[in-house]
Homo-oligomer: A and B are copies of this chain.
């Protein structure tokens, strides 16, 4: 097997989780989870969403959360925003946050129409404005996010050619705005990915853009997330998003109770047990996951929270 020697996992639990939980979750609890995650070895944590509180009430306290957590040296804290108002709010935390935007485009037009009221041209126009804003503010664009990269509850299957077209749109938008983008994230928030679709999409993007770094943002909606992540590892993908304890879920998928992102500690376990370094302290992650469970007040999907690490069992067994 041609597995990578090291990967980077971006923790999205706080941002993904607190946007979808019915809550209300206190600002102090959000800060406590971020602080717990900061000591797990994570190098990237997405901590907040600067979105319209009318649409996402769970993030009405984004400023308080970002102001409140204790940043740790060596960790990049990021946030999400979709427009100028969000960008301006984030700019107030320049320094504490690693500011970078994301050009988000849906590979499924029905998804974009339904949730953003935008067709392909409308998506492109919105992202052109978004990119321009970032250029003006001197804020980089970290990556192109291809939403619904594997399939869509409202549009059905998404062929790899559509993913390539969407990446191409994103790269054009960035280029026209004078911004360099080196990474594309293939996102499966509705849980359509299988290992075969991961291989097809990753292969098609690589065939076209040899130098573009590919990241996978996988959900475990139908229990396939970790198999898809493993296929990504086999293909040499080295960047993954995940959420501690499997926090999150897709607010647009219309499937309440379905799991969210793949669980950070389970992906880390898969990697560490196969000799792929993650830099993560899996036991500290599990502790953070248990804290997340106490905070949201319900059982979260991660199996590893129940069973713990193999390393801890090896210690009990002894040499």
Contact = CB atoms under 8 A, between A and B. Distances in A.
A305 to B, nearest CB: 9
A15 to B, nearest CB: 21
Interface stretch (A60-68, A135-143, A295-303): A295-303
Given A224-B269, A310-B192, A303 B301 contact: yes
A101 interface: no
Interface string A199-216: 100000000000000000
B1 A196 contact: yes
Contacts of A110: 317
Interface residues of A, number: 53
B194 A270 contact: yes
Interface in A256-283: 256-259, 263, 266, 269-270, 273-275
A124 B309 CA distance: 31
A221 B305 CA distance: 10
A141 to B, nearest CB: 32
A229 interface: yes
Count chain B CB atoms within 10 A of each CB in A151, A152, A194, A303 and give the residue with the most. Answer: A303
A23 interface: no
Interface string A205-236: 00000000000000011111011011100000
A258 B307 contact: yes
A255 B308 contact: yes
A306 B196 contact: no
Contacts of A231: 230
A314 interface: yes
Contacts of A263: 223
A157 interface: yes
